[in-house]
């Protein structure tokens, strides 16, 4: 897959200490921008930079970025994350950045709009699988922290139930279901943004 070919050129743990990090960083932003354009971003370069900014501010990903793409790469002990895990994280964050960009254009009220859908790749690769796993992990971790009513109503909605049927199952009226769906989506989005280092709200 184009874009991922560039990733093979990135530094690995144990590469020589003496190197110019700028070309590696430029290849990284180029690969992220390419992915952002595939995800439908109207400004791929800005989306790539935002994903990197959030990852540099995140305590989990920051040590790996500093190690693999900083001025003193490989000067100390390798970080906890291998390069493949860092790249999967970056692409996962990028998906949420692009989703936020698109949601500013049109707000999705249905929970079916939460997952990021991409055309099926006829030649899946290990990195793509890691990106999907990382995104699912972020989503599942945040979903598990929601209030029980919000979790239940969103689960039933994702199962394809209509508001009236959900109301009957939960013993509430349809207006309450609609409110819980709306608030649940909004709260889930807020927690995902917080998890990946975005703004709260």
Residue 120 covered by a domain: no
Query: Is 74 domain-assigned?
Result: yes
User: Which tens digits make up the pLDDT trace of 36-54?
Assistant: 888 888 888 888 888 888 8
Residue pLDDT, tens place only, 77-101: 788 888 888 888 998 889 888 887 7
Of all residues in the chain, what percent carry a pLDDT higher than 90?
1
- Which of the two residues, 21 and 33, has the higher pLDDT score? 33
Q: Are residues 40 and 105 in the same domain?
A: yes
Q: What is the mean pLDDT of residues 56-73?
A: 79
Per residue in 99-126, pLDDT (tens digit) is: 877 766 544 444 444 554 455 555 556 7
* Domain encompassing residue 188: 144-201
Instruction: Identify whether residues 25 and 104 lie together within a single domain.
Output: yes
User: Which own/partner pairs from 174-178 qualify as long-range (CB within 8 Å, at least 24 positions apart)?
Assistant: 177/153
Residue 119 neighbours by CB distance under 10 Å: 6
Same domain, residue pair 151 and 69: no
Is the model's pLDDT at 194 over the cut of 60?
yes
Predicted local confidence at residue 171, as pLDDT:
92
Which of 124-133, 148-157, 179-188 is the least confident region? 124-133
CATH of the domain at 186: 1.10.10
**pLDDT category of residue 137 using cuts at 50, 70 and 90:** confident
Task: Say if 149 falls within a structural domain.
Answer: yes
């Amino acid at each position: 897959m184009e874009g991922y070919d560039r990733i093979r050129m990135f530094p690995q743990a144990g590469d020589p200490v003496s190197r110019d990090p700028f070309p590696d960083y430029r290849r990284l932003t180029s690969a992220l921008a390419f992915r952002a354009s595939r995800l439908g971003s109207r400004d791929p370069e800005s989306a790539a930079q935002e994903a990197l900014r959030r990852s540099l501010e995140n305590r989990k990903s920051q040590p790996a970025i500093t190690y693999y793409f900083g001025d003193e790469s490989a000067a100390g002990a390798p970080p906890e994350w291998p390069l493949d895990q860092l790249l999967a994280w970056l692409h996962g964050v990028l998906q949420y950045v692009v989703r936020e960009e698109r949601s500013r254009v049109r707000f999705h009220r249905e929970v079916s709009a939460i997952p990021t859908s991409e055309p099926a790749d006829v030649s899946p690769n290990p990195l793509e699988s890691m990106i999907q796993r990382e995104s699912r992990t972020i989503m599942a971790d945040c979903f598990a922290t929601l209030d029980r009513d919000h979790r239940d109503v969103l689960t039933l909605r994702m199962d394809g139930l209509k508001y009236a049927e959900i109301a009957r199952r939960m013993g509430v009226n349809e207006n309450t279901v609609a409110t819980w769906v709306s608030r649940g989506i909004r709260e889930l989005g807020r927690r995902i943004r917080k998890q990946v280092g975005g703004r709260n709200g």
